[in-house]
Chains A and B, each alone.
Chain A
Amino acid sequence: MTAVEERPAGDRADSRTPLLSARNLVQEFPVRAAGGVKGGVVHAVSDVSFDIYPGETLGVVGETGSGKSTLARSVIQLPRPKSGVVEFQGKDLMTLGRRELKESRRQMQMVYQDPFGSLNPRWRVTEVVEEPLVGHGWGTTTSRRRRVEELLDLVGLDPSQYAKRRPFELSGGQCQRVAIARAIALEPALIVADEAVSSLDVLIQAQVLNLFEKLRREMNLSYLFIAHDLAMVKQVSDRVAVMYLGQLAEIGPSEAMYRSPLHPYTSALLDSIPRVDPLTGKAHRPVALPGEPPSPIEPPSGCRFRTRCPRAQIKCAEEAPALVEHQPGHRVACHFPLDLPMPEVPKMTGGATLAPGAVPGESAA
């Protein structure tokens, strides 16, 4: 990965060594058909590689079932992926034993979507936030109490008012702040946020996103930020990865990708966001991408997006496109990416030939 050039100035010098580097991650789940016979395999994550640098936010977007959450869980080894390498702070998590894995997990924490579901309803806020400290044998009872107050302060909850409450006495946004306090209790290097603000109302969502940003600046946190809202992901991420049916379609610096997406799927996703310009009040009427994602049990041959792609050709069915670097740090898995002219034969109709001279970067793969 040569994404380094694209990353904002002011980053630490150690940013060239990735904090987390995943290589060829594969996660599959067998499904049982009626009667318990083996029904097939869900290809949830297929051959995904990416890096996260210290202090960097990598956003992951994609539709339901694209494997975003499975990817996040594979990274933290819950459950362990089927194959691949996950190197975190120089250690390959795939080969670590239970005890060493626990040590490593101290440095990577997760924040989930459902703020109520991820907090024990019978515990008080203090207990929830203290738990990781207890679990990792951090400090004494008094020092832990002090730390909890510090943490609650940091996430914007007044300890005197909230420490003794239980989750049902909090609003969704406050619960999510508690979950964040718990996640940062051990001063992790990486936070995996899986749709962490999706269930919040827009004004509360903005508060929590600003909290994430504040923590990033103060603690030099890295994020793996998973969401389905492309606009939100762009605003919080240095780089964005677009997933489709378990594979990376495109990964690159967020500015560049949103300005000129290379994969037809990224472009279609961007076109389907309904939005309004806050300055002019002009609305952008979405353009619908036809069709639905195919089943991850039997993904299409070749490029998995070809069944919905307006640029698909015969080649797309025959050969899976590799993730190729087109611009510095901007890689795309497409035979006919958008920085090249539209292929001459627009549809996968019979007798289609390959567009002449297409994909110069292809041979580099």
Chain B
Amino acid sequence: MSKRTATYASGDSGVSEGVIDPVSLGKPSRASAAQPGEPLLVVEDLRVQFTRGGRKINAVNGLSYELTPGSMMAIIGESGSGKSVSSRALMGLLPPTAKITGSVRFEGRELIGMPERDMRALRGGDIAMVFQDPARSLNPTMKIGAQITEAVKLHSDLDKKGAHARAVELLKLVRLPAAERRFHEYPHQLSGGMRQRVMIAIALAGEPRLLIADEATTALDVTTQAQIMELLVELQQRLGMAVIMISHDLGLAASYAQDVVVMYAGRAVEHAPTGTLFANVRMPYTHALLGAIPALDREPHSLFEVTPGQPPDLSALPKGCPFRPRCPNATDKCLDDPPLTEHEPEHWWACWHPVGSGLGNDPGPRAGTGPLDPAVAADDPGLADGPDEAAGPGRHHTPNGEQR
């Protein structure tokens, strides 16, 4: 997963006023300090479990991925797919009642179980996060300048004057119009897009090598969203910063990210470089997502491809593949947990009957499943045995079980 095939269109947006050189931001070359080819972040078999009212809620169930320094990766999925919880887990932002297992290594350092004191130095420093709602993330009683200066002071030993200068510099870097004047304004005086720029400026104060943008543009208008995404891509390239973009929007992921991880019920179900993934979707869930998004080239009043049912209850996950009850290709084979396997170069999916492997509703192994990795397959033997449970509510049909 180290070779990148996707490339960017140049992120030049024609605005040069107020942009400063990344060199003035301190140590921009720090990102390249890691050995080439070494992933910045390695997530292995991450599991998060909450206990609520005696019920165990399995929010993340064995998530694994790697992130190359300086790249942009998208994690997409519906509500409850575990995309936010997994990134909060690696930031150490979950409540202490959450049971986290597995491993997350950032530049070789294990983050799970790291003492809070060390975590605090890392959080907002090397790893920063931007959340969905900028209005709630900012302190409404503090001027935005003071909030940025606070972040700058926390992560550097600049004096008052230096921190102020740096804060204005950051505001210019995120292209906040009239940065010097805005410095003395309160969050309510800014628009949603401007507030999100301020949040990004605060996130950049610690010169992060990894920025996690959790639905950072979801609350914004499409026009503002495009502006913020352009800014993120530009910063990612100029500062050599890796970005994990968490989103429910396939189009957004396809437009900006180099890699895409599709999550369902707390696990990754498909993972590939963006171009590979969308040109050749294999996981029926990803296929269903693509069919359900409104497209400009569809006729008015045309129906959407519908996937029946709802995402599974995380406290009572179905046996085997979590998408089985809704999947048009589901068979009894799917009662075995399909492992996330690299079936094609750089293209990983977790499915026994991927799109394009022939018709579904036909038990038994079939072409396209490729070699199995027994180590991953056996990750939860409890789910694999006990074949007495009938296929149950599986095998719904969709308008056409069309395959590509």
Helix, strand, loop or mixed for chain A's interface?
mixed
Give Cα A236–Cα B302 distance, bound, in whole angstroms.
7
Question: Is A209 touching B249 in the complex (CB atoms < 8 A)?
Answer: no
Residues of B within 8 A of A284 (CB): 251, 255
Q: Is A210 an interface residue (CB 8 A)?
A: yes
Chain B: interface residue total (CB-CB under 8 A): 56
Residue contact B222 to A283, C-beta cutoff 8 Å? no
Q: Give the distance in Å from the alpha carbon of A289 to the alpha carbon of B225 in the complex.
A: 10
Indicate if the CB atoms of A281 and B227 lie closer than 8 Å: no
- Contact partner of A281 (CB less than 8 A), chosen from B281, B297, B304, is B281
**Interface residue A326 (Cβ < 8 Å from any Cβ of B):** no
Judge whether A283 and B293 touch: CB under 8 Å. no
Using Cβ atoms and an 8 Å threshold, which residues of chain B touch A41?
Answer: none
B62-70, B152-160, B305-313, B362-370: which lies at the interface:
B305-313
Give the residues in chain A near B295, CB-CB below 8 Å.
231, 235, 275, 277-278
CB of B305 within 8 A of CB of A206, answer: yes
The answer on a CB contact under 8 Å between A281 and B251 is no
- Judged by a CB distance under 8 angstroms, whether A285 is at the interface is yes
Residues of B within 8 A of A171 (CB): 310
Instruction: Report the nearest A residue to B77, measured CB to CB.
Output: A201
Asked if A280 and B223 make an inter-chain contact with CB atoms under 8 angstroms apart, the answer reads no
Q: Which residue of A lies closest to B233 (CB)?
A: A285
User: In whole angstroms, how far apart are the Cα atoms of A286 and B251 in the complex?
Assistant: 10
In the bound complex, residues from chain B placing their C-beta under 8 Å from that of A277 are: 295, 297
A238:B300 contact, CB within 8 angstroms: yes
Contact of B296 among A209, A231, A280, A285 (CB under 8 A): A231
Residues in A172-192 with C-beta less than 8 Å from chain B = 172-173
**Closest chain A CB from B278 CB (angstroms):** 3
- Asked whether A64 lies within 8 Å of B221 as measured between CB atoms, the reply is yes
Report the bound CA distance from A286 to B306 in whole Å.
27
**Once the chains bind, are A206 and B223 in contact (CB under 8 Å)?**
no
Q: Which B residues touch A282, using CB under 8 A?
A: 278-279
The chain A residue with its CB closest to the CB of B217 is A274
Q: Is the CB of A276 within 8 A of B278?
A: yes
Check if B306 sits within 8 Å of A285, measured CB to CB: no
CB distance from B6 to the nearest CB of A (A): 10
Given contacts A201-B78, A283-B278, A292-B193, contact A270 B221 (CB under 8 A): no
Instruction: Tell me the minimal C-beta distance from B265 to chain A in angstroms.
Output: 13
| B79-A276 in contact (CB<8A) | no
**Which chain B residues in 215-238 approach chain A with CB under 8 Å?**
221-227, 229-230
CB within 8 Å of A: which B264-311 residues = 274-275, 277-281, 288-308, 310-311
Closest CB in chain B relative to A5 CB, distance in Å: 15
Whether B292 and A202, one on each chain, are in contact in the complex, defined by CB atoms closer than 8 angstroms, is yes
Please report which residues of chain B, range 191-223, place their CB below 8 angstroms from some CB of chain A when the two chains form the complex.
191-194, 221-223
Residues of A195-210 at the interface with B, using a CB-CB cut-off of 8 Å, are 201-207, 209-210
Q: Say yes or no: A202 contacts B296, CB within 8 Å.
A: no
CB-nearest residue of chain B relative to A289? B223
The answer to the question of B248 belonging to the interface, with a C-beta cut-off of 8 Å to chain A, is yes
A201 and B79 within 8 A (CB): yes
Inter-subunit contact B294/A229 (CB<8 Å): yes
From residue B184, how far is it (CB to closest CB) to chain A in Å? 17
Q: How far apart are the CA atoms of A269 and B221 in the complex, in Å?
A: 10
Q: A220 contacts which chain B residues (CB < 8 A)?
A: none
Interface digits, A216-255 against B, CB 8 Å rule (1 contact, 0 not)?
A: 1000000000001111101111100000000000000011
Q: Who on chain A is nearest to B247 by CB? A: A274
Task: Find out whether the CB atom of A231 lies under 8 angstroms from the CB atom of B223.
Answer: no
With A275-B251, A276-B254 known as contacts, the answer to whether A206 contacts B307 (CB < 8 A) is yes
Q: Please tell me if A258 contacts chain B, counting CB pairs below 8 Å.
A: yes
Q: Contact: B291 with A278, CB < 8 Å?
A: yes
Q: Are B78 and A270 in contact (CB under 8 A)?
A: no
For A217, give the chain B residue with the smallest CB separation. B301
Q: Are A281 and B226 in contact (CB under 8 A)?
A: no
Tell yes or no: B13 within 8 A of A by CB. yes
Interface presence of B33 (CB below 8 A): no
Residue among B222, B255, B277, B299 making CB contact with A230, cutoff 8 Å: B222
Note all chain B residues with C-beta closer than 8 A to A63. 221-224
- Complex Cα spacing A231 to B308, Å: 22
Which residues of B have CB within 8 Å of A238?
300-301
Contacts known (A255-B300, A280-B279, A288-B13); A274 close to B191, Cβ less than 8 A: no
Residues in A whose Cβ lies below 8 Å from that of B306: 203, 206-207, 210
Q: Which of A57, A64, A205, A255 contacts B192 (CB 8 A)?
A: A64
A278 to B308, CA, bound (A): 20
Closest 5 CB pairs of A and B: A281-B278, A206-B304, A283-B254, A281-B279, A276-B254
Pairs A–B under 8 Å by Cβ, sample size 30: A8-B300, A201-B248, A201-B311, A205-B292, A206-B291, A206-B304, A206-B306, A207-B304, A207-B306, A210-B306, A213-B303, A230-B222, A230-B296, A234-B300, A235-B300, A269-B222, A273-B222, A273-B296, A276-B254, A276-B278, A276-B293, A277-B295, A281-B280, A282-B279, A283-B255, A283-B274, A288-B13, A288-B226, A288-B227, A290-B227
Given contacts A255-B300, A276-B254, A289-B226, 10 further A-B contacts (CB under 8 A): A203-B289, A213-B303, A229-B294, A238-B301, A272-B225, A274-B252, A276-B250, A281-B277, A283-B254, A290-B15
Interface, chain A (partner B; CB < 8 A): 8, 57, 63-64, 171-173, 201-207, 209-210, 213, 216, 228-232, 234-238, 254-255, 258, 268-270, 272-278, 280-290, 292
